[in-house]
Amino acid sequence: MPQSAALSRAILWMVGALFSFISMAIAGRELAGELSVTQLLVIRSAIGVLIIASLIRRQPLRWQLLKTPTPGLHLIRNTAHFIGQYGWFVAIASIPLAEVFALEFTTPIWCLLLAPLLVGEKITRVRAIAVLLGFIGILIILRPGIAIIHPAALGVLGAAVCFSIAYLMTKKITGQATAHGSQSPLTLLFYMCLVQMLLSSVPALLDWTPVEPQHLPWLLLVSLTALSAHYCITRALKLADAAVVVPIDFLRLPLIALLGYLVYDESLDFWVLIGAGVMLSGNYLNLWSEQKRLKQLQQETRVS
């Protein structure tokens, strides 16, 4: 495929990811106060299990795809992701949507900090600078001592930490899967939905609200976009470099800020945009450094 055509398709996939993330946030906001977060998560996860199970049935290997040599890592990954999702949906109902998305962009920063502990990666000078820029961005957004910090904002930061653990566990699972045979993305998604359904089932049943017909479209939207967002990003990354994909992903911040202003009458906080821009610069610097390092390794391999 020509490079220009691949780039165009990657952009289209990222448009799908942007639409998915924004739609999931809007649906979560619409359901806030109607259903508890745990009820939302258990219903979303149950729908996800059904969708993925139907997809697995269409695969040549079918239920053999559910075999995994790393059940413990799946449990850690999906427990962390469940906690992160809980904090994210609580924040969606409590603080401006733009602030939620901006603070969620700290996830790559936490990945850099936790990678030495969880997957044995080193913190290079460039990564340290990226981490520093990330924390500067957080301070600009939260402005401690100047503005009142909403507890939900701290919840989003906690969610970002949990998301980073989930991402690193995904890397560890796929790395070990290479040694024992690859695991399909459907395997990862199935266990994600299954574990989160089990974790949220008991608290959801203790605080269950009857689901009304007006809830169903939003619940279906949350369930579908949770899967489509990650699928679109995966497809985009196969067609273009992360240095191209990540800046496009950043567009969901100004888009959600505009939607929050138009739909929910949320004020446009330029400190949020500035702080997020600082964090994005750190993330982009790290991506640029990694791509440069990989190119050097490829050149050295060709020479040798």
pLDDT surpasses 80 at 156? yes
144 forms beta bridges with 147
Strand, coil or helix: what is 121?
coil
Are residues 101 and 25 in contact, defined by beta-carbon separation less than 8 angstroms? Answer: yes
Residue 20 has φ and ψ, to the nearest 5°, of -65, -50
Q: Which of 54, 93, 43 is nearest to 221 (CA)?
A: 43
CA distance 172 to 34: 38
Any idea where the domains of the chain sit in the sequence? 1-35+209-268, 69-182+270-304
Residue 301 pLDDT class (50, 70, 90 cuts): low
Query: Given this model, what pLDDT does residue 215 score?
Result: 93
Q: Is 150 helix (H, G, I), strand (E, B) or coil?
A: coil
Sign of CA dihedral 217, 89, 284, 231: negative
Average pLDDT, stretch 167-194? 75
For residue range 39-83, list pLDDT tens digits in order. 999 999 999 999 988 988 887 777 777 787 888 888 999 999 999
Phi-psi region of 145 (alpha: psi -120 to 50; beta: other; left: phi over 0): left
Please name which of 69, 84, 82 lies closest in space to residue 175, comparing C-alpha atoms.
69
pLDDT(20) > 80: yes
- Helix ranges (DSSP H) in 181-240: 185-206, 216-239
Number of other residues whose CB lies within 10 A of the CB of residue 100: 29
- Percentage of the chain surpassing pLDDT 70? 90
Listed in sequence order, the residues at least 6 apart from 154 whose beta carbon sits closer than 8 Å to its beta carbon are none
Q: How far apart are CA 78 and CA 76, in angstroms?
A: 6
